[in-house]
Amino acid sequence: MTNDAGYELIASERMPIKAWTRGVPIEDQALAQLRNVASMPFIHSHVAVMPDVHWGMGATVGSVIPTVGAIIPAAVGVDIGCGMMAVRTNVRAEHLPDSLTHVRSAIEAAVPHGRSDNGGRNDVGSWQKEPPEHAKAKWAELEDGYKAVIDRHPKAAHQRGLGQLGTLGTGNHFIELCLDEVGAVWVMLHSGSRGVGNKFGTYFIERAKHEMRRWFINLPDEDLAYFAEGSEGFIDYVKAVSWAQRYARANREAMMELVLDALRAEWPDLTGDELAVNCHHNYVAKEKHFGKDVFVTRKGAVRAGVGELGIIPGSMGAKSFIVRGKGNAQSFCTCSHGAGRAMSRNEAKRRFTVEDHVKATEGVECRKDAGVIDETPMAYKDIDAVIAAQADLIEVVHTLRQIVCVKG
């Protein structure tokens, strides 16, 4: 059902579902998850759906879930505080060398990325020796909060909180160099709270499930297990998730410093200007909407209040966008967090070849091997269609074209 407000209404038995998905397909699994979420008794007003929506754990990626009196940990997810950061530099297109291979190599050398191999004995995704001083300084500001969480929940502890601060991670996490419409070079990166946030998220999701079993609460999906406001689990989860969101932001800041330092080997006078954006897209925050204080969970979605800057990245071979929010109340002042997957990782590996990937990433200095087929551009939705579907949520400030991409 469509209307003139920019969104479509998806049929639901309880609370409305408002979806900014015109011209963008939604998979049946995602529709079922949206209806499950909308059926929960503590949803406030409606569920908002972004054009990059796709299936996730419990709740879809690309949705906004406002709740009163409860929080669903799996709706926040296990990469708590995952998000984007972008900085415009004073380097321009005419300053670029003919080949950017050594620039990509310099970034890869500066920022640990990837996952453990050799059975975990070679943890390439963490600092092998001493982390850089600025990462240590950021950890010093975070350490007391971390200890406060694990003192109460020792099983949520992770051994590499400091060891992963300023590191990229795996999967769809990336570091890119991009050119905007006037030839300015941007550094853009995507990462979150790494292993420590994952451990927090996984631990509290299981605790919430335990609470549901304890009180014989039946759910349409066990991953919609929740903590009721005021309960011990709720109080402890809010403290943990708030800490992980601060860690994720600090992680992006630390990585950005490392990348800019690495680039100064090529451009000694490189500086970042005042236009820098650092935004979460997997998080929960207390906000006021439709006259009520609510907990807003954005799962793969970015806050887009009036005048707020955000980042909507495309895939490895597509455009990305710096956007400014319009403060659309019906979307809970939110926009999409990216293009959104069009298919699963396994389906992408089955369907596409290395040759397909090489063609799709022509002109981008990036990995072009079988190990990144699951991240090939064709595995994602059309970013232009995604941007068009949310014209009443954001305006485009800058259009970026990738020239270097480092994948986790």
**DSSP of 321-344:** EEEEE---GGGTSEEESSS-BSS-
pLDDT (tens digit, 9 = 90+) per residue, 192-228? Answer: 999 999 999 999 999 999 999 999 999 999 999 999 9
Q: In angstroms, rounded to a whole number, what is the distance separating the alpha carbons of residues 315 and 178?
A: 12
Residue 311's nearest CA partner among 382, 211, 387, 197 is 387
Domain annotation covers residue 354 = no
pLDDT confidence of 4, banded at 50, 70, 90? low
For residue 210, the Cα-to-chain-centroid distance in whole angstroms is 27
Domain that holds residue 179: 8-342+380-407
237-270 CB burial, b ≥16 within 10 A, e <16 = bbbbbbbbbbbbbbbbbbbbbbbbebbeeebeeb
**DSSP of 143-168:** HHHHHHHHHH-GGG--TTTTTTTT--
Domain annotation covers residue 367 = no
Q: In angstroms, rounded to a whole number, what is the distance separating the alpha carbons of residues 57 and 76?
A: 9
Tally of structural domains, the chain: 1
| pLDDT at residue 120, as a whole number | 44
Q: Which one has a higher pLDDT value, 163 or 123?
A: 163
pTM: 0.95
Domain annotation covers residue 163 = yes
The distance in angstroms from the start CA to the end CA of the chain is 40
Adjacent-strand bridge partners of 395:
324
pLDDT (tens digit, 9 = 90+) per residue, 319-374? Answer: 999 999 999 999 999 999 999 999 999 999 999 999 999 999 999 999 999 999 99
Domain annotation covers residue 186 = yes
Domain annotation covers residue 364 = no
Residue 277's nearest CA partner among 397, 138, 132 is 397
Q: Report the relative pairing of strands 47-54 and 17-19 from DSSP bridges.
A: parallel
Residue 44's nearest CA partner among 212, 233, 289, 240 is 289
Worst-scoring range by mean pLDDT, 1-5, 47-51, 387-391, 395-399? 1-5
Query: 232-263 and 133-152 are packed helices; what angle lies between their axes, rounded to 10 degrees?
Result: 170
Q: What is the dihedral of CA 63, 68, 70, 73, to 10 degrees?
A: 20
What's the whole-number average pLDDT of the chain? 94
- Amino acid, single-letter form, for residue 250: A
Can 337 be counted among the known catalytic residues? yes
Sheet holding 47-54, edge to edge: 8-10, 17-19, 47-54, 61-67, 292-299, 282-289
| pLDDT at residue 125, as a whole number | 83
322 within 8 A of 86, measured Cβ to Cβ = yes
Domain annotation covers residue 68 = yes
Compute the average pLDDT of residues 8-31.
96
- Amino acid, single-letter form, for residue 248: A
Adjacent-strand bridge partners of 278:
85
User: From the candidates 44, 46, 190, 337, which is the catalytic residue?
Assistant: 337
3-state secondary structure of 110: helix
pLDDT confidence of 115, banded at 50, 70, 90? low
Domain annotation covers residue 218 = yes
Per the rule left: phi > 0, alpha: psi between -120 and 50, beta: everything else, 296 is: beta
Q: Find where tokens 């014989």 sit.
A: 216
pLDDT-above-70 percentage for the chain: 97
Backbone angles phi, psi at 190, to 5 degrees: -135, 115
Adjacent-strand bridge partners of 399:
321
Domain annotation covers residue 159 = yes
- Residue 268: CATH number of its domain: 3.90.1860.10
